[in-house]
Structure 1
């Protein structure tokens, strides 16, 4: 998109005020779930509007999150980007035994608002292009309140204890790309990674018993819980009632490499690999509440650790083709190695009064293959229209599904548009819809009552870019 004119300082200021106002509206966003399990289906509005393609196509500075070698495809000079994601979800859980329903909604302050930032800067210096930014890699969010069937312990005992989740994963990449020739670009990058988790989770006595029977519970608090006269369940709460703060959090890093090769001016291929993250154990404060039919609720404050919670390695292969002066198409195939990082959720708790308990919550995710197809049509010098779709294999298993981790969508369609205010400034918008998916879990250990989860969602992304 090129326009042969420059913006005045007044126009630039007006555009920035427009973006600031739109960012303020993000406070209306609902709790969110990422889409390829915990990962967003593409980074930035250009990629998102084209189904998530980014391996062999110029999607702007956000391309460094998929293939850092695409930085060499940017225009000469420097560029900054400012934007955000937010997701509106429709999640419903049904108790198949009783027919009761509960929907995830804004029952608490710690999941409202939920939006994710995008900030990036890139500069081309001869054959070398450097990029840095802050991007949300993904997350999840649910809020079922305190009065649904999910808050009942064994024997239909109402606890008025919450069931909810919020995970946010932020990446801070520093990437470089080198243009070896007119055909070949090579790129690499390293990311600082931060992740934070809030969680309220009730386990019924039958779930606790099932975990114990499978050898998934250990520690000196186990006989204490077993010695209660009428144990009905156990509840973990590691939630900070804040829009930003998390109950547990940790820092770490990951790295990626990539390349692109142009067979002609119209045809380009790309390959990129992102390594499994190396994030420290997430630590913080929590309360373990034992629920007993005779003694009532016994709250034990203490320190909690979520051990070895990592994001998976990803291999991306891509192809882009300029069909005409107005139309581009691109295809990505990705392999996401979930089985290496999500076999169990490993929880360790140490009570302030002494005693500890360790629990392995089974997940057993499958590896995922994802197909993304996108197109961009240059309708005029100012307007570019985009569209795409994305289909992924199901990574979750019904037998280990949690109501608070319903990351089951696997089919998406997206639309987007870009508007060039001038040759320097542009605004890109994308909307992505995850079609409703349904999954059942028939029983213990990750649910007490047999449940059915239905989940669909809409993701909106807006990015402002300025080149200088």
Structure 2
């Protein structure tokens, strides 16, 4: 097989195998890319983490050895999410209610080549996402007045990056890198809003359109349900393509100390569009479904600034630290929904989110036991980006604290296997505020991530 065929096969594997992406742990973003970074708490700005380093700082490609590498891997994420109704004591757990969600698996693949002062890379990685599945029979599927609807409450967001990266060793100490990433994101969503939530949105000017009088004219409106989902491994109810860019550098301050910095721009993604059903729920008339077109407008991934340092303490021991600033505030003020019914009429809704910018500290270490075996461990702590007053049960991206560990084993100078495990400690949040919840609720969320990468040099 030629090198070009190897590259094409690797990227195709990741793109076609991107079955499901987990509820990410830095809000919608995974807490590290590749098994080396993940095992070390997500550090990746000033160390060689292999091909996955292009997702954080493409200049780290210049830290790799001369030659070519192909990498294939898999992320597996299991979540433990529970929503408790504080008024009644009822609980709803996110589990395997559907073939569409959880546990979550995300293949990844990449090819890199370093020749002289230049290094190049191309790959496909899950940047992150979210996923919940509460089924059809919990209190979340109950409309105003205690009316059971039998309607689903669930979510699945997939975000895929396909970076094309290059790095140049400008001097013996300084390397500069950049990438252009093609991006794809897809969303499945089933969401029930009670009549009080609908009324709150209308009263605050967050729900407008010609369908508002239609809903208001129903004799006993109890709620409204949006369904934009496909129960298939790859397909999403709405999706969109776009791009982002990334610049970075690494600087060897001394023989044992390396500094790094990288900036990833805010994404430029088109509106996610597709088909949806808006179901009006009435106590007298029953359920009234309206099929139509839907757009999730200007749903973007945030810009990120990463600063990092690594220290070679001994020939066998490496320590590293990253500080990241994630600019959620500028991209996640509202979730904007525009619906046009096939039978006529439209509805525009702005669901408040009002995220805060997030600061993340990652600490990691690697110890090379011998020529074959390397042990890794890390810690990660993030400030909270979500606000309790705008929390949704279907978007419970609350974990902030992680512990990670991993191992790497070299079968030969050309072949190695890296494994990482990361635990997101349970984090809880309350919300009793309209319009994002009707019942006062407490949401708790923890999860475990496992990552396995195989790398072959040639």
Verify same fold: TM over 0.5: yes
Q: How far does residue 243 in structure 1 lie from its aligned partner after superposition?
A: 1.6
Please tell me whether residue 175 in structure 1 is matched to residue 165 in structure 2. yes
Give the alignment's TM-score, normalised by structure 1.
0.93
Task: Compute the TM-score of the two structures, normalised by the length of structure 2.
Answer: 0.95
Residue aligning to 2:322? 332
- Which whole-Å deviations, capped at 9, do the CAs of 1:308-354 have from their partners, x for residues lacking one? 00000000000000000110000000000000110000000000100
Runs of 4+ in 1 over 4 A off after TM superposition: none
Does the aligned pair in 2 maintain the 1:30–1:105 contact within 8 Å? no
Tell me if structure 2 keeps the 8 A contact 1:120–1:134.
Answer: yes
Contact 2:95 2:102 in 1 (8 A): no
The equivalences for 1:64-83 within 5 A come to 64-83=54-73
Q: Where does residue 407 of structure 1 map in the other structure?
A: 397
Matches within 5 A, 1:24-423: 32-112=22-102, 114-423=104-413
Secondary structure of 1:69's match?
helix
User: 1:125 Cα shift?
Assistant: 1.8
Q: CA deviation at 1:293?
A: 0.5
Say whether the 8 Å CA contact 2:22–2:128 is kept in structure 1.
no
The secondary structure found in structure 2 opposite 1:447 is coil
What residue ranges of structure 2 are gaps of 5+ in the alignment?
1-13
Tell me, what secondary structure is at the counterpart of 1:75? coil
Is the 2:20–2:234 contact (alpha carbons within 8 Å) kept by the matching residues of 1? no
Q: Does 1:447 align with 2:440?
A: no
- d(CA) in 1 for partners of 2:337, 2:98: 24
- Contact in 1 for aligned 2:77/2:103 (Cα 8 Å): no
Distance in 2 between residues matched to 1:340 and 1:389, nearest whole Å: 27
- Long gaps (5+) in structure 1: 1-22
Give the C-alpha shift of residue 241 in structure 1: 1.0
Distance 2:379 2:240 in 1: 34
Deviations 1:110-168 (CA, angstroms, capped at 9, x unpaired):
11563112100001121010000000000100000000000000000000000000001
Aligned length, in residue pairs: 445
State the distance in 1 between where 2:83 and 2:456 align.
44
CA distance in 1, matches of 2:123, 2:58: 12
Partners of 1:30 and 1:87 within 8 A in 2: no
Q: CA RMSD in A?
A: 1.6
Q: Following TM superposition, by how much is the alpha carbon of 1:256 offset from its aligned partner in structure 2, in angstroms?
A: 0.4
Contact 1:51 1:390 in 2 (8 A): yes
Match of 2:447 among 436, 457, 467: 457
Displacement of 1:181 in angstroms is 1.3
